[in-house]
Amino acid sequence: MHDFFDTHTLAFGEKTLTPFVPEEGVYQDGTTPLYRDVDGKLWGITGHTHVGHIAMFAGTTLDDIKQLYPITTNFKTGSADYAFDGVCYPEGILPRGSIWPFGLYICPNTHRFFCWFHNETGWNGEGTAYDAYGPCVEPKFDTDYRHVGLMHSDDEGRTWSFDRWVLTGYEPSASRLYNPAPGTIGQQEDEVTFGCGDFSIFVEPDGDYIYLFYSKITIDITGDSIANGWRSCCGCVARCLKRTDGFMGDFVKYYDGAFSEAGNLGRETAILPDCWHPRVVYSRPHDRYIMISKPIMATKLGQIEGLDIRRKVAQFCVSEDLVNWSTPKVFYVDGIPFGNHYNAIVSDDPASQPHVLTSDTFSILCNHNATAVERYKTRLV
């Protein structure tokens, strides 16, 4: 396992555009969730709620997928006075802010759509946003708190209802400088960890579980910039049972060698020490799982040569069990690291799930914050 990319390499094709572009009204800020329904249609959901709109896309492959309609929600986002039906974060703090859809699953028997979304306390709070320092309009270099929420749709993504919060950090969404939950104790250290988010979903093709791979950021709040504030960005994983009855179970976090801690407020063990927005596929030809992510701390510390000003790069690693991963590998094209801020491997097979590779040719989708999603047809050799 650990020498896979010593004997294999990636050949990247020319860049082309996908339909996931601002010109279509969607400003994807993260990797694009995709899933194939039981009838073989490939679905996607992309965009976020405070820039442009979120829309449903459908087709057979990335070659013909197109936007169908913007979504609507049966709940509000924005202010803590009314957002998410007033369902508190698991810490007991009123929710606020936006939806970033990062995970999609379609029940094969009921055709119910499930979407897991990223949420932050510091964006689009309409006067109620906050970060580690206190109330804010925008967070200071990523020092706001992340949660993962779940919503569902029974009309192919046209309208969505909020279900609950499914993933929360062990550390509460409060610091010694600002705590919106009276009667509780926030994180007292200078180094604050900002919850669970920046994630993707992997649905086991032959197993019983849906895996959620996520990032956890730790920042020293005495720092005055990104360069001297960030301390870590590790990758973690949780899983829930893959149901087929229209219901959705809760996540259990991987901790200390087993899936053993609650998804909300439970502890977690990192599976990679430097891993931003991990996304996983399964390669049938190689019987390996392949993860693509961004080595965000290495870019902030200037440890990767050839980066441009936006520090775009992808790293690749493999696993046989989804928790033990090889040392990540960065690939170069003409002296420039391949990749972007968000990176996703997607199958080009018109019959397989987008996260299941049936050959050594596939696509990689790349984008930055709210930019056009670009496609690179790629070959594993």
Q: What is the mean pLDDT of residues 87-100?
A: 98
pLDDT digits (tens, 9 = 90+) for 30-85: 999 999 999 999 999 999 998 999 999 999 999 999 999 999 999 999 999 999 99
- Whether the predicted pLDDT of 215 surpasses 80: yes
- Whether the predicted pLDDT of 226 surpasses 80: no
Residue 46 CA to its chain's centroid (Å): 12
Share of the chain above pLDDT 70, in %: 99
- What's the pLDDT at 176? 97
Tokens of 28: 């994807």
In the chain, which residue ranges form alpha helices assigned H by DSSP?
Answer: 4-7, 226-229, 296-300
- What's the pLDDT at 309? 83
What is residue 99's three-state secondary structure?
coil
- Strands 342-347 and 361-367 come out as antiparallel
Q: Are 316 and 253 in contact (CB under 8 A)?
A: no
pLDDT digits (tens, 9 = 90+) for 199-214: 999 999 999 999 999 9
The b-or-e profile of 45-80 (16+ CB within 10 A means b, else e) is bbbbbbbbbbbbbbbebbeebebbeebebeeebbbb
Predicted structure pTM score: 0.97
23: left (phi over 0), alpha (psi -120 to 50) or beta: alpha
Q: Tell me the β-bridge partners of 261.
A: 253
- What's the pLDDT at 13? 96
Residue 106 CA to its chain's centroid (Å): 18
- Whether the predicted pLDDT of 310 surpasses 90: no
3-state secondary structure 301-335: CCCCCCCCCCCCCCEEEEECCCCCECCCECCEECC
- Strands 276-283 and 72-73 come out as unpaired
- What's the pLDDT at 2? 57
Q: Are 272 and 294 in contact (CB under 8 A)?
A: no
> What is the distance between the terminal CA atoms of the chain, rounded to a whole angstrom?
16
Nearest to 114 by CA among 149, 72, 77: 149
- What's the pLDDT at 138? 95
Tokens of 92: 């007991």
- What's the pLDDT at 300? 85
Residue 43 CA to its chain's centroid (Å): 17
Mean pLDDT of the chain: 96
Could you tell me the pLDDT band of residue 197, with boundaries at 50, 70 and 90? very high
- Whether the predicted pLDDT of 302 surpasses 60: yes
- Whether the predicted pLDDT of 227 surpasses 80: no
pLDDT digits (tens, 9 = 90+) for 243-285: 999 999 999 999 999 999 999 999 999 999 999 999 999 999 9
Q: What is the mean pLDDT of residues 190-202?
A: 98
Query: What is the CB-side half-sphere exposure of residue 53 using CA atoms within 13 A?
Result: 14
